[in-house]
Structure 1
Amino acid sequence: MAKRLEIHYTPKHGSWLNIAEIELSVLTIQCLNRRIASIEELQVEVSAWETERNRIQKSVDWQFTTEQARGKLKHLYPEI
């Protein structure tokens, strides 16, 4: 099992991470909310969910404004 483990180092901050977490949550709620008998069936179900999700072009409605981000993240950026 350890030979199959593949570690990917990814940033811990950023809006893409929020989007990924949102999509995984939606996948879990809409597609993986039941017992799936086999890997093959899982692949078919997830593929169908992904195709539909892409077809409707679902997007994220951000509530966090640029001004709020600048205030909250001010310590990360030098003043010019």
Structure 2
Amino acid sequence: MEQTKNRFVVCINNDEYPASLELHKIYRILPDADAEQDGDLRVTDESGEDYLYPAEWFVLISLPYEVELSVMHTATV
């Protein structure tokens, strides 16, 4: 199956922002090379807005194509 260029992470630390990030939830990384160079990731959090968070709060994951489609569909609903 075709792979897309989307990148996904799972949140493993939300101590400082428990209302903004859910533990063990899958988040899509939004492209931001400057943030990544600084050790941050840009994700759309529970507020519906994209913010920078420390990269060490997340683990990069690979999703099967069908799951990726489902996650992307849920993110746009």
TM value normalised by structure 2: 0.24
Relative to its length, the structure with more helix (as a share) is: 1
Q: Which fold has the larger relative contact order, with Cα–Cα distance below 8 Å and residues 6 or more apart in sequence? A: 2
- Decide which structure has the larger Cα Rg and report it: 1
TM value normalised by structure 1: 0.24
